[in-house]
Amino acid sequence: MSDSKAMTEAELIERFQSRIDDEQKIEPKDWMPEGYRKNLIRQISQHAHSEVIGMQPEGNWITRAPTLRRKAILLAKVQDEGGHGLYLYSAAETLGVSREELIAALQSGEAKYASIFNYPTLTWADIGAIGWLVDGAAIVNQVSLQRTSYGPYARGMVRICKEESFHQRQGYEIMLALSRGNEAQRAMAQDSINRFWWPSLMMFGPHDAESAHSGQSMKWKIKRQSNDELRQKFVDQTVKQVEVLDMTLPDPDLKWNEGRGHYDFGEIDWEEFKRSMSGGGPCSRQRVAHHVKAHEEGAWVREALRAYQKKQKSQADKAAA
Amino acid sequence: MTRIAIENPVEMYAVRLGDDALVLGHRLSEWSSNAPFLEEDLALSNVALDYIGRARMFYTYAGQLRNDGTTEDDYAYLRDCRDYYNLLIHELPRGDFAFSMARQYLVDVFNLAYLAELQQSRDESLAAIAGKAVKESTYHLRRSNDWIMRLGQGTRESLRRLQDAVVELWGFTPELFAMDALEIDLLAQGIAVDRAALRDSWDRQVRATLEAAGVTMPEPDWQVDGGRQGVHTEHLGHLLGELQFVQRAYPGLEW
Ligand SMILES: [Fe+2]
Ligand SMILES: [Fe+2]
């Protein structure tokens, strides 16, 4: 914008907000308030890290998947999640932060990722439960984010959502197979639901009233729907799916509320949520340590690649001279 | 569990090729979340997926030849070490990135030539599988060839690691070219590929690339084989222990 220097900060903010109100997408070269940029970097990078760290609990079963078909589907799914991480890192980079900085923030614990990935995958059923519940919760959130105000993030979400619905289907299909299996398989599936249900609800974040960034994010249309609205939507859609499995959700307070037209459900253990978010989940230390280890073990490869590219470039320059 | 006894030579041939693909695909899949950077993580998974897909096609065809309901999963999950017939190079642990890439390069050069020949097989099913796989291997080789040059001409450390990897792998390469009675017989029928005949051009190409990358070629003073007879390295048993865990712990179920 050539006239941006002539405008005062207040005028710029006003014009920015009116573009947002008008449902225009904000693009990387557009003027934006520093708070908007920071808020977006926080949210997009947290999202990217979740995709990447999420590869670990699911990757934990790639070498043990029970059939070749399941193995191929799981490997492709985990690969997709890595791809989502890549799109999102690229979207974050358009805001002037480098991938190295983002990774450093993940490894130092300064940047967060979805706390659900701090729970262990102990049985094959956990791969079903994660695909179904965790990707299911992610879709509810991401569908809403397709309308987020920042262009690169919104477009990334459109691409990602297409793959997520496939992920959810394959997860549910695993659960369905187990639900039709023998007693041990059914018990395995129910145990997974019991362990992953509450953490799935936590994925939507704190209640709207307690959410530190929510108000401003809604005003800037970074977020389009509140945490509680999205969580409710997820609960409503999931209850029906559990019934098809002929299994139960571990919540005695869960019941249909005719007046609201929604399911009521119990209170999340917010102490556990906080603990898990701040590095106290059962696998928190393991997840970050694994990322650090792979990154450090790969340092010599990245260095070799840089050195090779530099040599190639200087040879090309010499040839051109 | 009843052992899957394989008497039909074509079935055995398909199972051998399936075992090569599955075991290497499994090793490649171990790189998920472990690669030096995210793009490479995804690329390694791609290659792994190609190999696992290849294994599924070979096993499925083998099962069809039996015509008794034997599935791809029966071959993969219900055979013990002594009934696996992959060539040993495929089962070696993934090692560092240089080891995995050097193995991939050696195997990619071989597979590209092998599959091109297998496309001419008089067995139409094998020829069709080869036709699909040869395209994948063309892409795999482009990648692994690039990595050999990058590692060889990158840093002193990357060259050292590449050199060490080639030395460790070298004694496992002669087995790629070993023909036995079964394959000689299938070759005479126009079904199997003459692996021995691929050796010279493989050797020339591999030496030229590795030397261009700065690797000193090892002396061929040792070699290990036995995969086709089910005599493996100790690593395969552990790989199968992991691969087959669910099917062994909960036998006979649908997943
Ligand atoms: Fe994802
Ligand atoms: Fe997903």
Q: How far apart are CA A302 and CA A166, in angstroms?
A: 33
Contact: A68, B246; criterion CB under 8 Å: no
Taking only the tens place, the pLDDT of each residue in A48-76 is 999 999 999 999 999 999 999 999 999 99
What percentage of residues in chain A have a pLDDT greater than 70? Answer: 98
Instruction: Tell me if B240 is assigned to some domain.
Output: yes
User: How does residue B134 score in pLDDT terms, banded at 50, 70 and 90?
Assistant: very high
State the Cα–Cα distance between residues A51 and A102, nearest whole angstrom: 13
The total number of structural domains that make up chain B: 1
* pLDDT at res. B197: 98
What CA–CA distance (Å, rounded) separates B124 from B119?
A: 8
Mutate to test the interface with B, among A71, A290, A297 (most CBs of B within 10 A): A71
Q: Mean pLDDT over all residues of chain B?
A: 97
| Cross-chain Cβ contact B157/A300 below 8 Å | yes
**Nearest of A14, A20, A92 to residue A52 by alpha carbon:** A92
Range name among A8-22, A266-280, B198-212 with the lowest pLDDT average: A266-280
- pLDDT, mean of residues A283-291: 96
Which residue carries 């070629």 as its tokens? B217
- In this prediction, residues A179-183 reach a mean pLDDT of 98
In-domain check, residue B88: yes
Q: Which residues of B218-238 are buried (b: 16+ CB within 10 A; e: fewer)?
A: eeeeeeebebbebebbeebee
Q: For residue range B75-132, list pLDDT tens digits in order.
A: 999 999 999 999 999 999 999 999 999 999 999 999 999 999 999 999 999 999 999 9
Q: Which domain holds residue B213?
A: 9-249
Asked if pLDDT for residue A44 goes beyond 80, the answer is: yes
Q: Tell me the pLDDT band of A5, cut-offs 50, 70 and 90.
A: low
Q: Which of residues 160-179 of B touch A (CB under 8 A)?
A: 161
Structural domain contains residue B255? no
Chain B window 182-211: which residues touch A at a Cβ cutoff of 8 Å?
A: none
User: Tell me, what's the pLDDT at B2?
Assistant: 74
For residue B157, the chain A residue with the least C-alpha distance is A300
Which residues 71-90 of A are in CB contact (within 8 Å) with B? Answer: 71-72, 75-76, 78-79, 82-83, 85-86, 89
Please tell me the predicted confidence (pLDDT) of residue A226.
Answer: 92
- B31-68: per-residue pLDDT in tens? 999 999 999 999 999 999 999 999 999 999 999 999 99
B214 in reach of chain A (CB within 8 A) = no
Give the pLDDT confidence of A217-246 residue by residue, as tens digits: 899 999 999 999 999 999 999 999 999 999
pLDDT at position A4 over 80: no
| Alpha-helical regions (H) of chain B | 9-29, 38-66, 72-77, 97-118, 124-152, 156-170, 181-188, 199-213, 235-243, 245-249
As a whole number, mean pLDDT of residues A105-117 equals 95
On the question of pLDDT at B163 being above 90, the answer is yes
**Predicted pLDDT at B1:** 55
pLDDT at A253: 97
Q: Given CA atoms A129, A134, A137, A143 in this order, what sign does their dihedral have?
A: negative
Helices vs. strands in chain A: H and E counts, helices first: 13, 2
Report the pLDDT value the prediction gives residue B157, as an integer from 0 to 100.
98
pLDDT class of A3 with cuts at 50, 70, 90: low
Asked whether residue A201 carries a pLDDT value surpassing 90, the answer given is yes
Interface of A with B in 22-61 (CB under 8 A): 52, 55-56, 59
Residues 108-147 of B with CB under 8 A from A: none
**pLDDT of res. B220:** 83
Q: Please answer yes or no on whether B158 and A301 come within 8 Å at the CB atom.
A: yes
CB atoms within 10 A of CB A95: 18
> A250 CA to middle of ligand 2, Å?
24
pLDDT at A213: 72
Is ipTM strictly over 0.85?
yes
Which ligand gives the minimal distance to the CA of A48? 1
User: In this structure, is residue B171 part of a structural domain?
Assistant: yes
Q: Which tokens hold the place of A208?
A: 């709207």
pLDDT at A7: 85
Domain membership of residue B133 (yes or no) is: yes
- Cβ(B114)–Cβ(B48) below 8 Å: no
Residue A6 has pLDDT above 80, yes or no: no
pLDDT of residue A277: 82
- B210 found inside a domain: yes
A218 touches chain B (CB under 8 A): no
Distance from the alpha carbon of residue B118 to the mean position of ligand 2, in angstroms: 38
Residue B81 amino acid letter: C
B246–A65: do the CB atoms touch at under 8 Å?
A: yes
CATH of the domain at B185: 1.20.1260.10
CA distance to partner chain A, nearest, from residue B198 (Å):
31
Is A217:A149 a contact under the CB 8 Å cutoff? Answer: no
* B75 in contact with chain A, both atoms CB, cutoff 8 A: no
- Residue B181 falls inside a structural domain: yes
Q: What's the start-to-end Cα distance of chain A, in Å?
A: 39
User: What residue spans of B119-198 are helical by DSSP H?
Assistant: 124-152, 156-170, 181-188
Q: What is the pLDDT of residue A200?
A: 97
A306 dihedral zone (left: phi>0; alpha: psi -120 to 50; beta): alpha
B249 touching chain A per CB within 8 A: no
Tokens for A42, please give them. 């926080």
Q: Do A75 and B52 touch (CB under 8 A)?
A: yes
Size of interface A-B (CB pairs under 8 A): 132
- Of the ligands numbered here, which is closest to the C-alpha atom of A170? 2
Residues of B within 8 A of A89 (CB-CB) are 38
Nearest 10 degrees: CA dihedral of A12, A15, A16, A21?
A: 160
The pLDDT of residue A276 is 85
| C-alpha to C-alpha distance for A221 and A201, rounded to whole angstroms | 23
Q: Quick one: closest CA in A to B247, which residue? A: A66
Is residue B26 domain-resident?
A: yes
Question: What is the percent of chain B with per-residue pLDDT over 90, rounded to a whole number?
Answer: 97
